[in-house]
A and B are shown apart, each in its own frame.
Chain A
Amino acid sequence: MMIAARSWLRLAPLTLLSTIASTSGAATNQIQFNRDIRPILSENCFACHGHDKNQRKAKLRLDVRDVALEKEAIVPGKPEASKLVEHIFSTDADEIMPPPKTHKTLTAAQKEMLKQWIVAGAEYEPNWAYIKPKRVAPPETKNSQWVRNPIDAFILHTLESKNIKPSAEAGKRTLLRRLSLDLIGLPPTPEEIKAFLADNSRTAYEKQVDRLLASPHFGERMASPWLDLVRFADTVGYHGDQNQNIFPYRDYVIASFNRNKPFDQFTVEQIAGDLLPNPSVEARVATGFNRLNMMTREGGAQPKEYLAKYAADRVRTVSMAWMGSTMGCCECHDHKFDPFTAKDFYQMEAFFADIKQWGVYQDYGYTPNPDLGGWSNDHPFPPEIEVDSPYLKSRIDRLEKLVTNIQAAAAQKLGRDKERKKAFDQWSRESREFLKVWPSGWATPTPEVTVKVKDTNSVAATNFSVLADSTLSFSDNPRESVKVSLPVSNMWLSAIRLEIVPQEVPEQKRTAMKKRNGTAFALSATLKSRNGKDRKLPFYFGEADHKAERYANGFAIIGVTSLWQISTQADRQTAVWLLDKPFHTQEGDVIEINLGNAAVTSARLSITPFPAADPLRSGMGPAIAAALSRSPKSSDLLSRTYLLTTAWDSDFHLQARKLQEEIRECRHGRSPTMVTVPQKPMVTRVLARGNWQDESGEIVDPAPPHFLPQLADPSTNRLTRLDLARWLISTENPLTARTVVNRFWKQFFGTGISAVVDDLGAQGEWPVHPELLDWLACEFMTPSFPRTNKGKSSSPQAWDVKHIVRLMVTSSAYRQVSNERPELKEIDPNNRLVAFQSPRRLEAEFVRDNALSIAGLLNEEIGGPSAHPYQPPGYYVNLQFPDRDYHAEKDERQYRRGVYAHWQRTFLQPMLANFDAPSREECVGNRIVSNTPQQALTLLNDPTFVEASRVFAANLLTSNFQSDEQRIDAAFARALSRAPKVKEKQSLLEFLKSQREYYTPNAGEAAKLIKTGIAPAPAAIKPPELAAWTQVCRVVLNLHETITRY
């Protein structure tokens, strides 16, 4: 689609460019500026003799050859005449460079290197990452057997040049576990291992790759690092850290990876989906990306200051995620090491100046935001749109099926029970009688009304009238409370209806009514029985056809049960409340309904015996009458209504209600989600030292960084986000493809080809395999290597993510064993040459997913609202505005994957935090991997892992195994995809024995252990046995190997 636009780029003059870099010729002994000289200068000299004009000493730049020559710091070919050489070799404390106070020193080898470089002519190269990547033909290798694709040619060529042999291919079990954990973040099942072992075809491995790339879990696994970059979270981050509605964006990311959306399209949709012609819902959801900066609604926050923070955050994120660049430095000053200037930073900011947003998302007296009038800490963060959620839709389907099933079961029960049949017949008779009087199903008896008036001195007591249709009409005076009494007959009372009916009232009064957007009903009802007893009739659920939305911590409150805030948009509106317990009334009873002091001009109250799951559909007179006149006993409608009305089957009643509540929580399968809405761009200025109060800076328009290829012939006067997105994915842009493939490489090989994946600039690292990185970058943008899928070759598309991933994981380099090689310690201490595969501890989410999957607990559903795993109580006690509760999921949602865990920016779930998941307050391109006692404590004691252990144990004990040995074999097969070694098995059997010895006499302790978590424990297994095996499984889930991908 948008790829056609690539031709409108031209190369800007590269001021830094004095020679064109040659990235070919691996392992040459010639001094190369980028590889050998730049790191020394950048580390030791550029801070004072570099880009930043404010820090520059003696007006000398060593990053620009012309200046260095002009100042005679460097005289090519003549080190003796070069001041640089003089200073670095000086022993005089006042002369020596770098100066002692910088605490930087050059080694003898570094000094010699600089000297030799000057001898050779002191040629410069622009930083490698700023030169367009060039596709170099894969080199020839001596061993052609090993080379499966060009990746291997590059890797092996370097290894051979150093006389290193690659490592052997890992065994099939290891390979499939590695592949599975890498591609879908889940371990292979024992059945999958078996199938792979049995497959002796030449393409057995490739078939597994294809299977896993096609798995819907691929998107979940790939989403995690992307969500770190875009700082995806469920809360806004600043101050009160309120919830934000954004999960559809997460699902968009997962779906995009699953559908192998080209990365260029993925880029355009996120940054500028709203600016595409007729943007799809999907593209609009994608623009949630621009809204993922932290936001505040703290009282006293200055909108301008926060707008500046939001803008800077976006520049940091875009430059990190797409350009592998640290533009953040330039908020205050020109970059000290790279050619980015402060002006570049603000020009980048200006691209996003059209995003509709608020500095402070609330309307305070001191910072008025009239368009957010009445907004509270519970409100969402606009603008939002409402979209379908496939997860919620399918959840509704499933729940509705359950309702149908339990209802059928209850109806059958009803048919079998003689007593109940009699009661049903009685109910049918009563219902016929009722419907004769009230055919609609709603009874609207003439009410008796008491009005308590606020100020009796000034207002007449008779400020209402009852009209012929039982409508109450009020004059417009303040009331303290209105009580309405309705006489009832022999009937089941199930629901109460309140209608606000427009009356023929003077225009003036109507306007007055419309103004009252605060008008709300907190309805309550009491049964006044004829024998003088009063009984409260609490409501279970109420809903209205029109209402003003109310919110609780970002979510619209479902229904109007405790409060109905009427809409100002509609004249006629209706609300219905279902009674908590249906109640059978008698002739002579009275229902008293308290309307409170709601200021409306008219109201009409009705009652019904016939409830429906959706309160507004209650009544159903004609349908029920029709059913009653046919054959009542076979009518679904009648049995359902009877069951709901009388609650004779209390199990069904409670279950049905719970299910209906869960269905309602799915919000009709829809969810709001934050999106980008364009508006007139704000003015963007260069802020001196980043000071938002300084209004003296130059006003800037959007533009890419000055030293990179520019957009040619932009379509409009002012560049847009769409231009930015197209600039990022242009084949002329040297950064994007390299940045992305370098991160993929890290994901599959442990370290990037350029190790500092979040900084490809001068302070980053000269890539160990520059030709390979460039080849991959080119292959990503314009593929030429055929893709093989299911044995058939096809041409990959441009920016084909799965193509690049497939190349990496099908390479021989990837398939090596992961054992370290002591003999390489000196040559390659960090395995950068990939002479073996690097082991990797699983990332936080996958540590959890892996344990749940091994245990057989994992919920494999895709997408949907974030879920709440167990969390230590009181963890949110320091959160306010609003105060926060945390309710861990009590059903299968407890076992959802980590990628769906509720991400509270200020208090990240402790299990995730302990395993180094970032809080996602700031863009993170490179997760830390640590190894701490907190991780040990988590795996040992977090209920998630204890519960997983006991369910794992129960599964081992209820499967068809003949012996403890077989169970241990099975545990290893599930957790580690391998058989235990003899001594491992012996050790565990010994351990099992000790645990049986403990738990057999301590059955009470055993019973406690097997109750951890919400999963039921099978009653068939004796608690001591289950507890002993739970302990064995705890050991297995805690093993280093279990949380490591080898």
Chain B
Amino acid sequence: MNDPFNFLAFQRSINRRTFLGRAAYGLGGLALASLLDPRLVRAAAAEENPPRWKGIINPPHFPVRAKRIIHLCMAGGPSHLESFDYKPELKRINGQPFPESFTKGQQLAQLQNTELKARGPFTEFRKHGNSGQEISDLFPHIAEIADDICIVRSMHTEQINHDPAHAFMNSGSIIKGRPSMGSWLLYGLGAETDNLPGFVVLTSAGKTGQQPVSARQWSNGFLPSRFQGVLFQSKGDPVHYVGNPDGVCQSTQRQIVEEINRLNGILAEDHLDPEIQTRISQYEMAFRMQTSVPELTDFAKEPQNILEMYGVKHPGDGSFASNCLLARRLAERGVRFIQLYHRAWDHHGEIEKGMTSAALDVDQASAALVQDLKQRGLLDDTLILWGGEFGRTPMGQGSGRDHHINAFSVWMAGGGVKPGLTWGSTDELGYRYVEDDQKMHVHDLHATMLYLCGIDHKRLVFRYQGRDFRLTDVTGDVAKGIVA
């Protein structure tokens, strides 16, 4: 049939030259901001067809080491004391009253108003790889990639309950309506694909230790909604409304989109409104998403050895392992920020059983993702971050541990991070990070991640309610020591 878009191309070329960058509303939601910030008009004007957002930081402030980020979020707060931060002294005083010198005047969660007793780690630790990084026996596969990862033991945060702690880890603020780090990155660097959302979220859950997570954790906040994280569903359509209605095949749907765009093109002939052009492009992109999402989630071509490597039993079953494999496929297709939540780490009680089970859920697939990206040459420009929203108390809570904000561990791999490095430390009981130049506040972590992505965190800003906001609020130092 005739191609309606040739005719439209003519319309577009005229209208774009005349009007782009000066819409009375819209600009993909940046209209108000653009009144005050001419850079936004430029970034929007750089949008050709297809309407790919080229990023506000263009060119980047620094060399781009990490083109994309995969955040493996261990939701619930895994214990650092049983994963990456070995504390023999804590083991020694197991069961004894916890020294008050550590805890006096400090914030507690469920241990409020109780007697505090030391709880030693229940696992053994060993040194692994040439780097000799200490990793607990709960994570044998991650231990195998010890030389590929950088363990940060000096993490600390400000929020002691799950909900605000996730918010703080994702947006650098506990005030709602702030953009998450994936949205910031997409806003900053732009999209690399037109066929998929630039920020994708996947969730899975363990057998115990589950805590809810909210969609605000991947919210675009005050940034335009094009920068929102898109949650892929484990049931039904992976992306909301990406499936055609029943009784509409792909070619019929294509006809619909063409007809809509043809009529929108006719509208543009006598309505000088640049939003019409944007709308036409968005329908094109929507249709491309409808085509590429099924291809993305079709695991049929993944060989058996790859499935085994991740420990995927049934591809697409919504398990963490399956999500890791999907994360690789998303990374290959140019998705900028991929976030996996595994809800399994809130071990107030029965930590031994719960954490063993949670570790079993994630260990193999986390390591496989690093190795798989490496063998495909993608690890160099993909940054992986593994960790929770906080750590757990060295004091016991019955058979478990309570939330802890003064110390926790994460690891990173790829994307310009020094491999085989242990960064930062905690005191002998794992209670508090050591105040040295290797301490890592959440804002420091964000600053470092943005640095690896080529962005000066102080210059990635958005004017909202009269103030320039940034992911790192008003602090944050880049941990240059972990940059390769």
Q: Chain A interface (Cβ within 8 Å of chain B)? A: 103, 237-241, 294, 296, 298-302, 305, 309, 316, 320, 326, 328-329, 336-337, 364, 366-367, 693, 750-751, 755-756, 758-759, 761-765, 818-822, 825, 829-831, 838-841, 872-875, 877-881, 905-908, 910, 913-914, 916, 918-919, 921-922, 924, 926, 928-938, 940-943, 946, 981, 983-984, 987-988, 991, 994-995, 998, 1005-1012, 1027, 1031, 1034-1035, 1038-1041, 1044, 1046
Kindly provide the distance from the CB of B256 to the nearest chain A CB, expressed in whole angstroms: 6
Contacts A764-B466, A830-B24, A987-B259: A931 and B233 contacting too (C-beta < 8 A)? no
Known contacts A878-B213, A921-B216: A933-B29 contact under CB 8 Å? no
- Of A829, A910, A932, the most chain B CB neighbours within 10 A belong to A932
Known A940-B241, A1040-B267; contact A916-B160, beta-carbon cutoff 8 A? no
Chain A residues with CB under 8 A of B108: 302
Q: Is B236 a contact of A873 with CB atoms below 8 Å?
A: yes
> Are the C-beta atoms of B110 and A751 separated by less than 8 Å?
no
Q: Tell me whether A941 and B242 are in contact (CB under 8 A).
A: yes
Chain A residue at minimal CB-CB distance from B222:
A928
Complex contacts, B259 vs chain A, CB 8 Å: 987-988, 991, 1035
CA distance A268 to B309 in the complex (A): 65
Interface residue? B240 (CB, 8 A): yes
Select which of B109, B286, B459 is within 8 A of A302 by beta carbon: B109
Task: Say yes or no: is B214 at the interface (Cβ < 8 Å to chain A).
Answer: yes
Task: Tell me if B160 and A302 are in contact (CB < 8 A).
Answer: yes
Which residues of A have CB within 8 Å of B110?
299-300, 364, 366
- Of the residues A301, A830, A880, A913, contact of B35 by C-beta under 8 Å: A830
Decide if A366 touches B111 in the complex (CB within 8 Å): yes
B225 touches A337 (CB 8 A): no
Per the bound structure, the CA–CA distance linking A238 and B163 in Å amounts to 6
* Residues from chain B with Cβ under 8 Å of A984 in the complex: 263, 266
Nearest residue (CB) in B for A364 is B110
* Pick from A337, A693, A872: contact of B466, CB under 8 Å: A337
**Chain B 205-241 residues near chain A, CB threshold 8 A:** 205, 210-216, 219, 222, 224-226, 228, 230, 233-237, 239-241
What residues on A are CB-neighbors of B205 within 8 Å? 878
Chain B residues with CB under 8 A of A1031: 248, 252, 255-256
- Binary interface profile of B, 457-469, with partner A (CB < 8 Å = 1, else 0)? 0110000011100
**Chain B residues in 8 Å Cβ range of A328:** 175
A762 in contact with B466 given A298-B161, A872-B237, A991-B255 (CB within 8 Å): yes
Given A366-B113, A820-B24, A880-B210: A1039 and B286 interface contact (C-beta under 8 Å): no
Docked Cα-Cα span, A879 to B162, in Å, equals 13
Instruction: Give every chain A residue within 8 A of B213 (Cβ-Cβ).
Output: 878
- If A932-B226, A1041-B267 touch, whether A239 touches B276 (CB-CB below 8 Å) is no
Q: How far is the CB of B287 from chain A (nearest CB, A)?
A: 8
Q: How far is the CA of A820 from the CA of B21 in the complex (A)?
A: 13
* Residue contact A941 to B161, C-beta cutoff 8 Å: no
Which residues of B come within 8 Å of A, CB atoms? 18-19, 22, 24-26, 28-29, 31-32, 35-36, 105, 107-114, 160-164, 174-177, 197, 203, 205, 210-216, 219, 222, 224-226, 228, 230, 233-237, 239-249, 252-253, 255-257, 259-260, 262-264, 266-267, 270-276, 278-280, 282-283, 285-287, 289-290, 341, 343, 348, 402-403, 458-459, 465-467
With the chains together, A840 CA to B24 CA distance in Å?
Answer: 9
Docked pose: A878 CA to B257 CA in angstroms: 33
7 further A-B contacts with Cβ under 8 Å, apart from A818-B273, A940-B256, A1039-B263, are: A337-B466, A758-B466, A918-B177, A929-B29, A934-B241, A1027-B247, A1046-B271
Tell me which residues across on chain A come within 8 A of B252, comparing CB atoms: 995, 998, 1031
Contact B32 A926 (CB under 8 A): yes
- A231 (CB) vs chain B CBs: closest residue: B176
> Are A825 and B212 in touch, CB under 8 angstroms?
no
Bound Cα distance A467, B282 (Å): 79
The answer on a CB contact under 8 Å between B282 and A933 is: yes
A933 and B272 CA atoms in complex are apart in Å by: 22
Closest Cβ neighbor of B50 among chain A residues: A933
Residues from chain A with a CB closer than 8 A to the CB of B228 are 913, 934
Determine the chain A residues whose CB is within 8 A of the CB of B225 once the complex forms: 913-914, 916, 928, 930, 932, 934
Whether A930 pairs with B177 at a CB distance below 8 angstroms is no
Give the distance in Å from the alpha carbon of A819 to the alpha carbon of B268 in the complex.
11
How distant is A755 from chain B, measured CB to nearest CB, in Å? 5
- Interface pairs (28), CB distance under 8 Å: A300-B112, A302-B109, A305-B107, A328-B175, A364-B110, A367-B112, A751-B24, A755-B36, A756-B36, A763-B465, A818-B271, A820-B272, A877-B234, A914-B225, A916-B225, A919-B176, A919-B216, A922-B177, A930-B226, A934-B197, A934-B286, A938-B241, A940-B253, A998-B252, A1005-B249, A1012-B245, A1038-B283, A1046-B273
Cα distance A881–B369 in the bound complex, in angstroms: 32
Contact in complex: A1005, B247 (CB < 8 Å): yes
CB-CB under 8 A from A838, the residues of chain B are 24-25
Q: Which of A921, A937, A991 contacts B286 (CB 8 A)?
A: A937
From B26, B31, B225, B226, residue with most partner A Cβ within 10 Å? B225
Cα A489 to Cα B31 in complex, Å, equals: 80
Q: Is the CB of A877 within 8 A of B203?
A: yes
- Output the least CB separation between B4 and chain A (Å): 9
- Alpha-carbon gap, A938 to B239, bound state (A): 11
Residue of A nearest to B273 (CB): A839
Tell whether A298 pairs with B235 under 8 Å between CB atoms, given A879-B212, A921-B177, A1012-B245: no
Query: How many angstroms from the CA of A693 to the CA of B32 in the assembled complex?
Result: 38
Question: How far is A825 from B467 in the complex, measured between Cα atoms in Å?
Answer: 28
Known: A239-B163, A763-B466. Contact between A931 and B28, CB under 8 A?
A: yes
Is the CB–CB distance between A839 and B275 below 8 Å?
A: yes
Residue from A294, A326, A750, A764 in contact with B25 in the complex, judged by beta carbons closer than 8 Å? A750
Are B215's CB and A839's CB within 8 A?
no
Please give me the residue from chain B that is nearest to A936 by CB atom.
Answer: B286
> A463 to nearest B CB, angstroms?
39
Measured between C-beta atoms, what is the minimum distance from A232 to chain B in Å?
14
Docked pose: A326 CA to B463 CA in angstroms: 13
Q: Which residue of A lies closest to B255 (CB)?
A: A994
Chain B residues, CB < 8 A from A1010: 247
Q: Which residues of B contact A873 (CB under 8 A)?
A: 233, 235-236
Cross-interface CB contact of B32 among A296, A755, A933, A936, cutoff 8 Å: A755
Residues of chain A within 8 A (CB-CB) of B211 are 239, 880
CB-CB < 8 A to A758: which residues of B? Answer: 465-466
Contact B249 A936 (CB under 8 A): no
Query: Is A929 a contact partner of B26 (Cβ separation < 8 A)?
Result: yes
Instruction: Flag if B466 contacts A910 (CB, 8 Å).
Output: no
Least CB distance from A951 to B in Å reads: 14
Pick from A693, A756, A840, A877: contact of B465, CB below 8 A: A756
The answer for the CA separation of A914 and B176 in the assembled complex, in Å, is: 18
Please state if B19 and A1038 are interface contacts (CB–CB under 8 Å): no
Q: In the complex, what's the smallest C-beta–C-beta distance from B248 to chain A, in angstroms?
A: 6
Flag if B35 contacts A755 (CB, 8 Å): yes
Contact between A931 and B240, CB atoms less than 8 A apart = no
Q: Which residue of A lies closest to B19 (CB)?
A: A820
- The answer to whether A765 touches B286, judged by C-beta atoms less than 8 angstroms apart, is no
Q: Is the CB of B214 within 8 A of A241?
A: yes
C-alpha gap A103/B457 in the complex (Å): 12
| Nearest CB of A to B406, in Å | 14
Q: CB-nearest residue of chain B relative to A1023?
A: B247
Residues on B with beta carbons closer than 8 Å to the beta carbon of A1012: 245-247
Task: Give the docked Cα–Cα distance between A943 and B237 (Å).
Answer: 13
Q: Give CA–CA (A1004, B134) in the complex, Å.
A: 62
A945 to B458, CA, bound (A): 43
- How far is A403 from B240 in the complex, measured between Cα atoms in Å? 40
| C-alpha gap A831/B224 in the complex (Å) | 21
Contact of A874 among B28, B235, B249, B285 (CB under 8 A): B235
How far, in angstroms, from A759 to B279 measured CA to CA in the complex?
Answer: 30
The answer on a CB contact under 8 Å between B241 and A872 is: yes
| Chain B residues, CB < 8 A from A830 | 22, 24, 31, 35
* Closest B residue to A840 using CB positions: B25
Task: Name the contact of A1040 in the complex, choosing from B18, B28, B219, B276 (C-beta under 8 A).
Answer: B276
